Structure 1
Amino acid sequence: MKTFLKLFVMLFCVASFAQTTVKGKVTDDTGQPLPGANIIIVGTTTGTSSDFDGNYVLTTDRNPPFTIQISYTGFEMQTKEITSNAETVDFSMKEGNELDEVVISASRTPERIFESPVTVERFGLKEIKNTASIDFYDGLENLKGVDINTNSLTFKSINTRGFATFANTRFMQLVDGMDNSAPALNFPLGNLLGMTETDVNSVELLPGAASALYGANAFNGILFMRSKSPFDVQGISGYVKRGITSQEAAGDNPYTDLGIRMAYKFSDKFAAKVNFGYLKGTDWAATNRTDRFIPGRTRADLDYDGINVYGDEVATNIRAAAGGLGIVPDVVVSRTGYDERDLTNYNAESIKADWGLYFRPWANDFEIQYVGKVGSGNTIYQGANRYNIKGFFLQQHKLEIRNDNFFVRGYVTEDKAGDSYDMVFTGININRAWKSDEQWFGEYINTYVGASLSGATDEQAHAAARAQAETGRLIPGTPEFQSTFNRITNDPDLSTGSRFQDNSKIYHGDANYNLGHLIDFAEIQVGGSYRQYRLNSFGTIYTDVDGPIDYSEVGVYTQIQKSLELSDAVELKLTGSLRYDKSELFDGFFSPRLSAGFTVNDNHNFRASYQTGFRNPTTQDLYIGLDVGRAVLVGGAPDNPARYVDTYGLSPTGTAITGQTSIDFTGEGAYNNSFFASSVQDFAASQNPADLAIANSNLAQPEQVTSYEVGYRGKLGDFIVDGSVYYNQYQDFLANETVISPFYGDVQLQQTLPNGVPLAVAAIANGDFQAYQTYTNSDADVNSYGAAVQVSTKIFNGFDLSANYTYAKLDFDTEENPDFRTNFNTPEHKTKVSFGNTNLFENFGFNVSWRWSDNYLWQASFGDGEVPSYNVLDAQINYRVPSLKSTFKAGATNLLQDEYFTAFGTGFIGSQYYLSWTINNL
């Protein structure tokens, strides 16, 4: 026993002796502590971070000598050699500039942003902590070249370089390597499955085509969000924000946002973390009663369709409905709708959590990760209609193996629609619940005829007709209305209800290997990805009535990067990338990228790139089959149009012609027997069949882009300058066409009635047709070009000042292509300015940001309209209390209270006022 104890003590002493401890403090050059600085042992992944007071303790089993390296965003990197155990090493960090920051996204390898071969934006810890926006995600709007379209309080869509709706399928968003797009929608729901603010390590944004490295969805830009590793940043941190949202339409309402991060490093081999976030508020109310198509119309007009009024989409020509009775005027009359605010409570809510287990079996850079994420919430989404996203649930699970040279990961993303519903069809079917369309229009016509025969004027007869037809109307706020509302929003059949269902999934795997440690000639990377879609909306979104729809995509790529030192002061960095992608539905595509970076005196970098990208049609482009009232959305996959089948009643004349009272009609007519909708409108005005133009949309094919870009990034005296100019050429541009397919007759007008009238013309005249929105490619030339520049400096001995300007222009002949919608949806001119000081006096800082946007035309399936120019001022002040490890902030967004909107049909964006308390956020 004594021998055992002696051996134990000896081993304990050896183990104790093998432990080397280094401690110290990290401050800036004014003596202020820098929390969250990274300290690592050079050549390893062993490290730690400084605490809220700047103190750190680093323990390792290595014996001195070895070198430690310290880095902090916005400061120059430092290294020091450790020569003995129990050494105290303090660091006084010298402030650097934006050129010293390190990015990973541009080349899939760490490099100074100064040397990036393409344009890249970075939003680091300093910017996150000092943003004047209400959270880090909103703060991205202050980056040059970035648009954030506000769908609702909890759903914002990020985009770069135009061509985006809220269903932004041209822009990819990655969180720790995972695409967090919702499978059913094929685009991310803002930050619903994103990150809790205290866990954000860095955010990088790569505008423009990035398909060469990141595949089909990285077509117009990509956002990278990386979280903090529990090996590097331990402890408990959190924040709470309380305030109000203020909007003229909705009033003042409470707002709460809180989050917590817990991370613990159990040993050099194992660490774990958990994050939780919760947000609750009242959404921006949409109360626009302007007519969707003809501004100036009101409910006093017979055919009125209010932008945020639902149910009035149902309309008919009352003379045609009366069988051509001459006393009935040849006019279109619409039913009376319900305001959007009667169909939703505008509850905005987000609950999300994530957790991760991290294992380093050999206590080096080899790591095995399991990460899980869940998110649920309520928000408003505007697509073809306005949707109340209620209880939407999204989850991801990832398994990844990686080290400094490679990674292999696989993850699954699953969504569930919860109790979400279509507000337009809610209004339509509440109307139909208390009185069918046939009865309503029948009462309208009979009352009009009776009033006219009694000597009433046309205006009086119409007023009497609507009053009679409206008898029995359900009144919002009554138990009868609420009971009907509940029934309809729980019914997935759009002929009687408005709920949509979904339980779709994406299975994704990708891998990358950097051969730089094996090859001296150049840095070479190879990689690939595989994705499997499983669409399962039970027939409420997609044409999957008979069961889920499955299809897959695969891609492989390689990149070579070589730096050439031309002289002591001049370096040339060349990068070439090539990717091949193949969807099982289409032919494969190659996406090359070439770039060159020319560095002079380590202060000036000139870059030029040739990039290509491609985009496979999205899940909705391919397999949607959705009646949105004004039209049926029918996807352009080869097998999809035939999958959409509906039964339509025919007019009396149509019945006489066909011998049928109804017809089963598929979506094939949209692609092989249709007229352009604009030409049908021309025909309605002229009654000349020659005005009818054949559409017959092509089935969807992949879209391609070729992008040319030049840029400069460097230091000119006291100013940091970053600018770029680009030109994009699109081929087979994917967008929508609105077409009309007659229920009988051919659009070539070869089939005629005995009197010589073409059958298709008779069908149009009789109202025997269906409007479709097709998903197709344009033969027209679609190009865009633009520029962006930012200048930043320090003034008045410590104040940060930056300003940027963005220019974007669509090059497309709309007059020659009136039925093709590019959805460019971005202002031609944008300007943003930021001014602040992180240490105005001890522990006190502030930041003010202002942005201005030019007016622009918004185009989307919900509607088109002008977005007026606007300017927004955000501001915050903050105070650090080191003894509490806390930062207190008071802030306001849209401080000028000038309400604005970024898209046609949404609610006006008001102001937000808040106080926040952040604890131990390193």
Structure 2
Amino acid sequence: MRVYLLIMLFFSGISFAQNTITGSVTDSNKQSIPGANINVVGSTSGASTDFDGTFKLNTTAKPPFSIKISAVGFESKTVSITSANQKVDVVLIGEENKLDEIVVSASRTPERVLESPVTIERMGLQEIKRTASPSFYDGLENLKEVQMNTSSMSFKSINTRGFATVANTRFMQLVDGMDNSSPLLNFVLGNMIGVSEIDVQSVELLPGASSALYGANAFNGILFMNSKSPFTSQGISTYFKYGVTSQEAAGTNGYYDFGIRLAHSFNKYFAAKANFTYMQATDWYATNYDDKTRAGIDRTDPNYDGINVYGDEASTNIRGVGQKLEAMGLIPAGASNLLPNSNVSRTGYNETDLTNNKAGNTKIDLSFHVRPFGDEKLEIIWQSKFGFGNAVYQGANRYYLNNFFMQQHKIEFKGKNFFVRGYTTSEDGGDSYDMIFTGINVNRKWKDDNTWFGQYAGAFITGTLGGMTPQQAHAVARSTADTGRFMPGTTQFNNAFNQVIADESVLTGSKLVDNSRIYHSDANYNFKDEIKFAEIQVGGSFRLYELNSHGRIYTDANGPINYNEYGAYTQLMKKFMDDRLKFTGSIRYDKSKNFDGNFSPRLSLVYSGGEKRNHNFRGSFQTGFRNPSTQDQYIGFNIGNAVLIGSAPDNLTRFSETFNLSAEGQAYSGGRTTKDMTGVDAYGNSYLASSVAAFSAMAGTDPVAAAALLKKSTANYVKPEEVKAFELGYRSVFEGMSIDLNGYYNIYNNFIGNLNVISTYYGTAQDNPALPNPSAPITDPGAQSIRALQNSEYRVYQLYTNSDVEIHSLGFGVGLSKKVISDFEVGLNYNYAQFDFDQAKDPSFEAGFNTPKHRIKMSVGNDKLFKDFGFSVSGRWNSEYLWQAGFADGVIKSATVIDAQINYGIPKLKSVVKFGAANIGGKEYYQVIGAGLIGQQYFVSWTINP
């Protein structure tokens, strides 16, 4: 209905008398300048040039009047308009002022990049045009301080200043003021519901803490993507990209990307626009078959658990299976002693067998803009965004987001000095599923676990009695137990697979269910017209979460979970010393339902030195905080080999499981045959999983020393984490060179992370518990807990908690760019990053810095190589680094990546053709342990901007 209404509005409307000024904007080499601004002097009427440098400006002003033409990197020019419907062709003279661009995000008010109180990166229309990456969002990786974490071709997560996995809950992304975070997952899903490439006006990136102005989630960085206004950017624009992807595992596959934008200003009171984009490709195959936890282990190991193999998570102590068979009289007495006292895992399925490896994204964006007074004093905007897609998300498990759907709707009132907006975000998991549970439950379709392990144990005993070596006996046992296994590609396998991914129960299926929502509102007012001695702003926000996974992921089986958070801030900005010294001070207060309120102050000074004020020194101090995410608080997610438990006070008892007790366990549990386990057991009666692993490794040789290694978990309920951030910087433009230097030092407290613990079905977790006496009844609770460990009667939990150890991180960056011979522009960035965490003080805690110590990025390009031709080449290198995340840990090797493109402008067709390639001839590389190796992409695109 909305689409129909928009089409009707495009072809109808009230007409008002207007003059239409058309023209073009070029440089001294007659090359078009896209994104130039054209404004009527003394009025708010304006327009901007398209990719081919042409514009159309509608205004009610009557000649004579003047228009001002400006563009980043060029001197502004004012032109007199003396007649109605005049055509204007303007040539702008270039100047080196890259750091003189105007940005808004750093202080919520327009200011020169040079005067920004914190580090800021910007990408405009020129940079988007020349990017050598397959999309502008991919091109963000070439910005200083950005490190991408690629989980899927259609799902990339931005990392700035470290401590980020694919699920980067410490980074915020705003599109036209709306937070793009998933309501269920609390982090950004790349550009799946972002903005179309032909609708981007500008992108601004703030690395580092920004909580003082933007709240809890702007902890390590924030990205702003702003779209074009239909009042100033009109017409029908479109692009089409076709290319191929190349990867050793996946082969060569097609890549399609299409977008169209329709925008029209009917008069000075009303404008509307619509965007549609569609991308389809074959994803990078994930084929890492290393064992998750043991280096050098392959499929021949009886307890193999491959990184990209699923179903082999079902594992048990095979001697324990034999003892149960003995007790049931199914094997001779004493036969269980022939079995090894170690675990055996079921045979799993490769990830490539459990997904169609399709990556796709469809976005629809509609907006209506009303200016009741015919100018920018007040603009009312209704915007609706819809995103559909397929992608692989990696968290504690690997998940295929299949037909995932997310939508946002916003109403906003904004003017010269204020805005008030409210929006809602909702999502539907579609046909998404968990790959690990898919493998586990497809296995169970053809043979249940008890039967499989029983057959394995029986065949191993028979083989051993027949004189086989342990290796031979294991091979025969697996072959015997695998009899009847559904082979990938067969009708039996496909039927079982389809049944499992449509089933919501973790016991028999793997489907993810999600209908969660966020309701958000925020407002800001700048008193600069009312208060003259300083620029003062006030603002605030309110957010309501509605979690609704129907009990599949959160503990919301009996109904949605609701909780809220709110915040308010104020900022004062004042200039001194002939406006050379700028002071900015701000403070914000935030409160979330389950936690005490937090204050986040920020103080900064910027001094502009030199005759032209082009030597700018800055220093800032700010605090940031991050409230525990929805997962940290309310998750209750069975991932097979463990349960993820959030620590909100009302969450611990809502997740409950019932386990059968052995005869020995019944004796220690007052005769009860079952044990109910909840989050209370996880947090209150558990061992550190690392201490249990150490105990198990030594128990066979030195039981006393092994027991001394057991440590009771003392994990506290999760609370907000905090950062104190110090930053110094220098920016300048001189002698044709742009230079940007920055350094930072961060101190983190109460750092949120995961902790694995093991809670036994009976007994009490204790430090250095007493050993059980096999010749006497066991009455000591600690000794009983050891027997539970020995009998594999325990549950593994992953807790969300804080580390008591203070974490420090520091880094610095250098950015240089200069135009050299014949308009060739060369850029060089270097970033250094490291962190300091005393692992000995908290051995079980993983900081997950996940950032290379060294990164170098270079670029060279020329928009005016020769008539209508331009090109660019970008390269980046990173040193190897440790990857730590819930799914798998490992070392990511150093990588060198080179992207290149050449573009050709066709003025008569108002279009640009681009030929590009990403990772040209380069070696395939990882950015995430568990995701697919990233190969090469080659593409051609055609963009039409009339």
Task: Using structure 2 for the length normalisation, give the TM-score.
Answer: 0.93
DSSP 3-state at the match of 2:580 = strand
Whole-angstrom distance in 1 between the partners of 2:652 and 2:487 = 39
- Report what 1:396 is aligned to: 408
**What stretches of structure 2 of length at least 5 have no aligned partner?**
1-14, 325-335
Structure 1 position 719, deviation (Å): 1.4
Whole-angstrom distance in 2 between the partners of 1:767 and 1:19 = 81
Whole-angstrom distance in 2 between the partners of 1:911 and 1:332 = 40
Report the CA distance shift for 1:755/1:519 in structure 2 as closer, same or farther (over 3 A): closer
Match of 1:563 among 565, 575, 580: 575
Amino acid at match of 1:337: G
- 1:74–1:126 contact (8 Å) kept in structure 2: no
DSSP 3-state at the match of 1:322 = helix
- Report what 1:10 is aligned to: none
Structure 1 position 107, deviation (Å): 0.6
Structure 1 position 663, deviation (Å): 1.4
1:827 matched to 2:862: no
Amino acid at match of 2:915: A
Instruction: Note the alpha carbon deviations across 1:456-513, whole angstroms, 9 max, x for none.
Output: 3322222221111111111111101100000000001001111110000000000000
Which has the larger displacement, 43-52 or 336-345? 43-52
Structure 1 position 745, deviation (Å): 1.5
Report the CA distance shift for 1:430/1:211 in structure 2 as closer, same or farther (over 3 A): same
Which has the larger displacement, 658-667 or 231-240? 658-667
Match of 1:846 among 844, 849, 871: 871
1:537 matched to 2:562: no
Whole-angstrom distance in 2 between the partners of 1:483 and 1:541 = 25
- 1:560–1:575 contact (8 Å) kept in structure 2: yes
- Report what 2:242 is aligned to: 242
Structure 1 position 903, deviation (Å): 1.2
- Report what 1:75 is aligned to: 74
1:901 matched to 2:926: yes
Amino acid at match of 2:164: A
Instruction: Note the alpha carbon deviations across 1:755-779, whole angstroms, 9 max, x for none.
Output: 7562222222221111111001110
Whole-angstrom distance in 2 between the partners of 1:747 and 1:43 = 76
- Report what 1:11 is aligned to: none
Whole-angstrom distance in 2 between the partners of 1:113 and 1:732 = 33
- 2:28–2:91 contact (8 Å) kept in structure 1: yes
Structure 1 position 796, deviation (Å): 1.3
Task: Using structure 1 for the length normalisation, give the TM-score.
Answer: 0.96
Amino acid at match of 1:272: A
1:104 matched to 2:104: yes
- 1:722–1:790 contact (8 Å) kept in structure 2: yes
1:671 matched to 2:675: no
1:599 matched to 2:608: yes
- Report what 1:215 is aligned to: 215
- Give runs of aligned pairs for residues 659-808 of structure 1, distance below 5 A: 659-686=671-698, 687=703, 688-748=706-766, 754=778, 758-808=783-833
- 1:899–1:909 contact (8 Å) kept in structure 2: yes
DSSP 3-state at the match of 2:114 = helix
- 2:548–2:561 contact (8 Å) kept in structure 1: yes
Amino acid at match of 2:941: S
- Report what 2:45 is aligned to: 46
Report the CA distance shift for 1:44/1:337 in structure 2 as closer, same or farther (over 3 A): same
Instruction: Note the alpha carbon deviations across 1:49-71, whole angstroms, 9 max, x for none.
Output: 33565444544333466543222
Structure 1 position 43, deviation (Å): 4.3
DSSP 3-state at the match of 2:467 = coil
Whole-angstrom distance in 1 between the partners of 2:652 and 2:53 = 63
1:588 matched to 2:581: no
Paired residues, number:
903
- 1:76–1:100 contact (8 Å) kept in structure 2: no
- 1:805–1:830 contact (8 Å) kept in structure 2: yes
**What stretches of structure 1 of length at least 5 have no aligned partner?**
1-14
Residue identity over aligned pairs, in percent, reads 55
- 1:323–1:652 contact (8 Å) kept in structure 2: no
Which has the larger displacement, 20-29 or 786-795? 20-29
- Report what 2:419 is aligned to: 407
- 1:75–1:100 contact (8 Å) kept in structure 2: no
1:520 matched to 2:503: no
Amino acid at match of 1:428: I
Report the CA distance shift for 1:727/1:35 in structure 2 as closer, same or farther (over 3 A): closer
Report the CA distance shift for 1:650/1:755 in structure 2 as closer, same or farther (over 3 A): closer
DSSP 3-state at the match of 1:647 = strand
1:344 matched to 2:368: no
Whole-angstrom distance in 2 between the partners of 1:56 and 1:345 = 45
Structure 1 position 620, deviation (Å): 0.6
- 1:304–1:334 contact (8 Å) kept in structure 2: yes
Whole-angstrom distance in 2 between the partners of 1:604 and 1:696 = 52
Match of 2:913 among 888, 891, 906: 888
- Report what 1:181 is aligned to: 181
- Report what 2:885 is aligned to: 860
1:618 matched to 2:629: yes
DSSP 3-state at the match of 2:852 = coil
- 1:855–1:867 contact (8 Å) kept in structure 2: yes
Report the CA distance shift for 1:502/1:695 in structure 2 as closer, same or farther (over 3 A): same
- Report what 1:8 is aligned to: none
RMSD of aligned residue pairs (Cα, Å): 1.8
- Report what 1:172 is aligned to: 172
Which has the larger displacement, 757-766 or 710-719? 757-766
Whole-angstrom distance in 2 between the partners of 1:178 and 1:52 = 27
Whole-angstrom distance in 2 between the partners of 1:152 and 1:19 = 49
1:37 matched to 2:36: yes
- Give runs of aligned pairs for residues 380-391 of structure 1, distance below 5 A: 380-391=392-403
Whole-angstrom distance in 2 between the partners of 1:220 and 1:53 = 37
- Report what 1:441 is aligned to: 453
Whole-angstrom distance in 2 between the partners of 1:863 and 1:35 = 45
Instruction: Note the alpha carbon deviations across 1:105-125, whole angstroms, 9 max, x for none.
Output: 001111111111111000111
- Report what 2:140 is aligned to: 140
Instruction: Note the alpha carbon deviations across 1:93-150, whole angstroms, 9 max, x for none.
Output: 1223212211110011111111111110001110000001011000000001001111
Amino acid at match of 1:797: S
- Report what 1:27 is aligned to: 26
Instruction: Note the alpha carbon deviations across 1:725-761, whole angstroms, 9 max, x for none.
Output: 0000011111111111112122237898537562222
Whole-angstrom distance in 1 between the partners of 2:759 and 2:40 = 69
Amino acid at match of 1:837: N
Report the CA distance shift for 1:830/1:717 in structure 2 as closer, same or farther (over 3 A): same
Structure 1 position 662, deviation (Å): 2.5
DSSP 3-state at the match of 1:530 = strand
Instruction: Note the alpha carbon deviations across 1:263-321, whole angstroms, 9 max, x for none.
Output: 00100000000000000010000111111111211121111111111111111111122
- Report what 1:573 is aligned to: 582
Report the CA distance shift for 1:78/1:670 in structure 2 as closer, same or farther (over 3 A): farther
DSSP 3-state at the match of 2:338 = coil
- 1:743–1:763 contact (8 Å) kept in structure 2: yes
Whole-angstrom distance in 1 between the partners of 2:21 and 2:924 = 54
Whole-angstrom distance in 2 between the partners of 1:125 and 1:652 = 71
- Report what 1:332 is aligned to: 343
Whole-angstrom distance in 1 between the partners of 2:58 and 2:871 = 37
Whole-angstrom distance in 2 between the partners of 1:87 and 1:184 = 53
- 2:742–2:814 contact (8 Å) kept in structure 1: yes
- 2:34–2:126 contact (8 Å) kept in structure 1: no
Whole-angstrom distance in 2 between the partners of 1:438 and 1:194 = 47
- 1:564–1:573 contact (8 Å) kept in structure 2: yes
Match of 1:378 among 390, 393, 396: 390
Whole-angstrom distance in 1 between the partners of 2:346 and 2:52 = 66
Instruction: Note the alpha carbon deviations across 1:552-607, whole angstroms, 9 max, x for none.
Output: 000000111111234xxx70011001100001111101000001100012211000
Structure 1 position 28, deviation (Å): 1.2
Whole-angstrom distance in 2 between the partners of 1:295 and 1:600 = 56
Report the CA distance shift for 1:468/1:50 in structure 2 as closer, same or farther (over 3 A): closer
Structure 1 position 451, deviation (Å): 2.2
- Give runs of aligned pairs for residues 217-232 of structure 1, distance below 5 A: 217-232=217-232
